[in-house]
Structure 1
Amino acid sequence: MEITRFAPSPSGLLHVGNARTALINFLYAKKHKGNFLLRIDDTNASNTSKEFCNAIFSDLRWLSIEWKDLIFQSKRTQIYKHFAQYLISIGKAYPCYETKEELEQHRQLCLVNKLPPKYNRASLKISQDKIKQYEKEGRNPYYRFKLDNVKLEWNDLVRGNVSIDTTSLSDPVIIKEDGSITYLISSVIDDIEYSISTIIRGEDHITNTAIQIQMMQAIGKQIPQFAHISLLRFQDSKISKRVGGHDIQSLKNKITPLVLTNFLSQIGTSDNVTLYDSVDQLTQHFDLRKLSTSNTQYDSTTLARLNKQHLKLLSYSQVQSLLNNKLNISEKFWDCISGNVSYINDIYLWHDIIYVKPVQHSITLDQHYLKQTVELLPEKITETTWKEWSENISKVANQNGKELILPIRVALTGLTHGPSIAKLLQLMTRDEIVDRIQIQIAVTQNKTEG
């Protein structure tokens, strides 16, 4: 059975890149009728928090990602130490005594001599007397895993044949001076013990994979399949305040979860992003082999287009559910603004414009024309009000098209674009319409007198 996993560290908010990795792992397991595990890398207590952990849970659930098992690495410390001791006992891990300063000196010397800054295994050559001296000085050993200097190859499910020459790599640290276990070895042990069959992660882990394959071989366990997906590249030179940042929390009030799951799981393929109606439907069309090894572009313009397309298709009840009781809107209100909403928070914006006050603007309006529109406004506001009003304005003020519509739109909303005025009028009382136009007349008059 296929078993995949996602292993975030609760040291910050879930980023769209991490969310994409989680989503691809989840869809791959679901596609193959397998299990998806969530593993929390919380071994570094000083750098993690319960709040970030809960935020990760919330964000994954929001994206409809469900997990079969939940694992906290902080609760498995003794298991990691047991396996680390086993590697020491078979000679695959060895103690080291260099200080950080000494290691840095060696690194700088390598760079000066134009050599790769690789650890030189000096601790394998020190005598027992020297070790005793270090211990008297209060030096605690840290431990490195001894790599075999070989060329490692594997068939990557995304990248095809991958080859890493481990002779160019430093022996990785698996136990720190304080006795804590590092990510490299704890991850291997978890993947072994939970029978992870396919490890899908970012291309920045390719070198780690070569190291971890050797660790698995040393422990004597079966090697899982690996798939290394390309990292996200952001086209936006700056993060838009309106669209938000690149963490899931900042997108929740803007993008619908269904749009984001469709977007994140399909970018990086040769296919155009298609808006599937459900996660089940998305799973049916998901194919890991479609993922490209080239840079994956995170294009916020495409994301916004998909989101607008999806929001426009939502029914009134679906929008109410999406707002989660944070804002009560009428069906007539949604019918009015639905074609002018790109993001969820646009619903709040239009609610404020229509029911609170227009957006501030610097457009100078013709006060004589506005006075005429007030005089010609019908007494009752109905579905036919705009037709009657605009026809009267056209006859009396001799205005048509943009010249007729724009001043009224700006007076009512503060914007030069927006919903149908015919529908907009039905959301306001006659007094409210008159008041907004009168305010614009006063503003224009003040500008003229000023």
Structure 2
Amino acid sequence: MTTTRFAPSPTGYIHVGNLRTALMNYLIARKAGGTFILRIDDTDPERSKEEYVDAIKQDMEWLGLHWDKVERQSERLDRYAEAADKLREMGRFYEAFETPTELDLKRKKQLNMGKPPVYDRAALNLSDAEKEALRAERGNGVWRFKLDHERIEWTDGILGDISIDASSVSDPVLIRGDGQVLYTIASVVDDTEMGVTDVVRGSDHVTNTATQIQIIEALGGTCPRFAHHSLLTGPQGEALSKRLGTLALRDLREQGVQPMALLSLMARLGSSDPVELRSDMAELIEGFDIHRFGAAPTKFDVQDLFPLTARHLQSLPLADVADAVADAGVPAELAEPFWAMARENITTLADLKGWWELCRDGAEPLIDEEDREFIAAAVALLPEGPFNGETWGEWTKAVKEATGRKGKGLFMPLRKALTGMERGPEMASLLPLLQVIRARG
């Protein structure tokens, strides 16, 4: 059975970069009728916060990315300890004591010599007595996985055939000196024991994947299928990393972005398929193919979400937005005609309030000097209420016959006088909702 996972660290809110990873893994699982796991990577007790765990779940539920089960790494520390013991017994795990300053000096020396800045494995030459002395002086060391210096190869679902020389990579630190288990080993143990078959993540994890493949094999596990998606940039190709904090999903939600607009964009962004607004999750699942994504950095512009949100809202019946219409202050008896009028003229649901204020309170008339006599004549011809969908046509016909005006010269001054705007909804549907004019009738 296909099993995927989304594994956020609860150290902040989910942003669009996280969402891309979550959505791809979700769609793969759902398309195959498999299992989607939400795995909370909370092995860092200092930075992990329960409020972020709750926020992650809220954001995913808002988007409709429903998980089949939740796992927490903080509840699986014994499993990681067993894996570490197994690696020690195999001679693949060793303790190292260099300080960050010492490691930096080693890297600079290697670079000056034209060599890759790879850890030199000096710790392997330490005697037991030397290790004891270093522990007494510096505390516990870090634990590194000893890589086999051979080529690590796999066929990536997006990048194609990958081959990395393990000798060009430092032996990865899997456990810190304070005992904190790091992602590299925790993820391997979880993926193996939870039967994860497919892992999609950012292309910044490629080297990490290479080392994890050796760890998986050392522990006797089966490697999942890996795919590494491109990283997002800003609309001009600039790095998004410093802006991701302002692109949190909850911020987009507060700006009025609709879930299906966001999902439709993210399900295609960076692929060879055009972005198409989908009406529901089933359409997203059906149209998803991980192999159609490319390796090049992918431009993301938050402004692209708003036309998609507007188009999505236009497709919705009143029942789907009834709460928002009511919150805007629209009386229940006017909700249906109001939504029919407003839906084509909003970008987000927050815009409903402004349209209802126009209907309820009217607007400051916008009348050009040369149109004053025309407007006065037109107002005198306004029929008695109540108004309906035919009133605008009947009124403008009468005004045309009385004044001789037609086309834009007829309709634009009337629109500006009634709404204070040059553009807006069809006047036939707006006129019956203008409360000030209704009261006059």
1:39 is displaced (CA, Å) by 0.3
Could you tell me how far 1:287 is from its partner in structure 2? 2.2
Deviation sequence 1:27-60 (CA, Å, 0-9, x none):
1111111111110111223223222221211121
Is the 2:63–2:263 contact (alpha carbons within 8 Å) kept by the matching residues of 1? yes
Secondary structure of 1:266 counterpart? coil
Q: Give me the whole-angstrom Cα distance separating, in 2, the residues matched to 1:168 and 1:356.
A: 71
Q: 1:354 to 1:93 in 2, by over 3 A?
A: farther
The answer on whether the counterparts of 1:236 and 1:300 sit within 8 Å (CA) in structure 2 is no
1:384-434 CA deviation, whole Å, 9 max, x = no partner? 432344345546666544444444444544433211122222112245898
How far the C-alpha of 1:258 sits from its partner, in A, is 2.5
Mapped pair 1:335 → 2:335: no
Distance in 1 of aligned mates of 2:400 and 2:237: 46
Equivalent-residue separation in structure 1 for 2:305 and 2:132 (angstroms): 62
Q: Does 2:74 correspond to 1:69?
A: no
Question: What pairs with 1:289-328 in structure 2 (closer than 5 Å)?
Answer: 289-300=291-302, 303-320=305-322, 323=324, 326-327=327-328
User: Which segment is superposed worse, 386-395 or 246-255?
Assistant: 386-395
- Find the aligned partners of 1:91 and 1:193 in 2 and give their Cα distance: 22
TM-score normalised per structure 1: 0.85
Report the Cα distance in structure 1 between the residues aligned to 2:106 and 2:52, rounded to whole angstroms. Answer: 37
Whether 1:368 and 2:372 are equivalent positions in the alignment is yes
Residues 261 and 293 of structure 1, relative CA distance in 2, 3 Å threshold: same
Distance 1:179 1:301, change over 3 A: closer
User: Which AA in structure 2 matches 1:22?
Assistant: A
Aligned to 2:118: 118
Q: Which moved more, 1:95-104 or 1:244-253?
A: 244-253
Which residue in 2 is equivalent to 1:419?
425
Question: Does structure 2 conserve the Cα–Cα contact (< 8 Å) formed by 1:96 and 1:143?
Answer: yes
Higher mean C-alpha displacement, 213-222 vs 226-235: 226-235
Report Cα offsets for 1:225-264 as digits up to 9, x if no partner.
111122233326899xxxx953222232523322322221
**Amino acid paired to 2:269:** I
Mapped pair 1:250 → 2:251: yes
Give CA deviations for 1:198-248 in whole Å, capped at 9, x if unaligned.
Answer: 111121111110010011111111111111122233326899xxxx95322
In 1: Cα distance, 2:43 partner to 2:278 partner: 38
Return 5+ residue gaps in structure 2 as ranges: none
In 1, the alpha carbon distance for the partners of 2:204 and 2:325 equals 38
CA contact (8 A) 2:16 2:249 kept: yes
Q: Which aligned pairs between 1:49-448 and structure 2 lie closer than 5 A?
A: 49-235=49-235, 246-253=247-254, 254-300=256-302, 303-320=305-322, 323=324, 326-327=327-328, 329=330, 330-355=335-360, 358=363, 365-366=368-369, 368-369=372-373, 374-383=379-388, 384-391=390-397, 393-394=399-400, 399-430=405-436
Please state whether the residue corresponding to 2:143 is helix, strand or coil: strand
Worse-matched range after superposition: 130-139 or 2-11: 130-139
Moved more, 247-256 or 195-204: 247-256
**Cα distance in structure 2, aligned partners of 1:174 and 1:219:** 14
User: Do 2:329 and 2:356's aligned partners in 1 also have CA atoms closer than 8 Å?
Assistant: no
Amino acid at match of 1:422: A
Contact 1:381/1:430 (8 A) holds in 2: no
- TM-superposed CA distance for 1:5, in Å, is 0.5
The aligned residue for residue 39 of structure 2 is 39
- Partners of 1:79 and 1:324 in 2: how far apart? 52
Q: Which amino acid aligns with 2:252?
A: L
TM-score (normalizing by structure 2): 0.86
Query: Matched residue of 2:267: which SS?
Result: helix
Contact map agreement 2:201 2:227 (CA 8 A) in 1: yes
Q: Deviations over 1:334-367 (max 9, x none)?
A: 1111221233333344334433565x99x88438
For the residues of structure 1 that align with 2:372 and 2:279, how far apart are their CA atoms? Answer: 51
Q: Is the 8 A contact 1:149 1:167 kept in 2?
A: yes
Identity, in percent, stands at 37
Moved more, 244-253 or 28-37: 244-253
Question: Cα distance 1:122–1:12, how it changes in 2: closer, same or farther (>3 A)?
Answer: same
Structure 1 unaligned spans of 5+: 435-450
SS of the aligned residue for 1:38 comes to: strand
Give the letter for the 1:103 counterpart.
Answer: L
Q: Deviations over 1:165-204 (max 9, x none)?
A: 1211111111111111111111111111111111111211
Q: What amino acid maps onto 1:419 in structure 2?
A: P
For residues 227 and 102 of structure 2, the distance between their equivalents in structure 1, rounded to whole angstroms, comes to 37
> How many residues in Structure 1 have an aligned counterpart in Structure 2?
427
Give me the whole-angstrom Cα distance separating, in 2, the residues matched to 1:164 and 1:326: 57
Moved more, 341-350 or 84-93: 341-350
> CA offset at residue 296 of structure 1?
3.2
CA distance in 2, matches of 1:111, 1:137: 29
Q: What residue identity is the alignment partner of 2:99?
A: T
Of the structure 1 ranges 289-298 and 402-411, higher mean CA displacement relative to structure 2 is found in 402-411
Distance of 1:43 and 1:379 partners within structure 2: 72
Whole-angstrom distance in 2 between the partners of 1:245 and 1:335? 34
Deviates more, 1:227-236 or 1:194-203: 227-236
Whole-angstrom distance in 2 between the partners of 1:311 and 1:293? 33
CA distance in 2, matches of 1:12, 1:395: 66
Is contact 1:21–1:201 with CA below 8 Å preserved after alignment? yes
Q: What letter corresponds to residue 382 of structure 1 in structure 2?
A: F
Separation of aligned partners in 2, 1:157 and 1:219? 24
Which stretch shows the higher mean deviation, 281-290 or 294-303? 294-303
Task: Say whether the 8 Å CA contact 2:360–2:435 is kept in structure 1.
Answer: no
What is the deviation of 1:25? 0.9
Q: What CA distance in whole angstroms lies between the structure 2 residues aligned with 1:324 and 1:19?
A: 29
Residue type of the alignment partner of 2:66: E
SS at match of 1:226: strand
> Secondary structure in 2 aligned to 1:4?
strand
User: Which amino acid letter does the alignment assign opposite residue 274 of structure 2?
Assistant: N
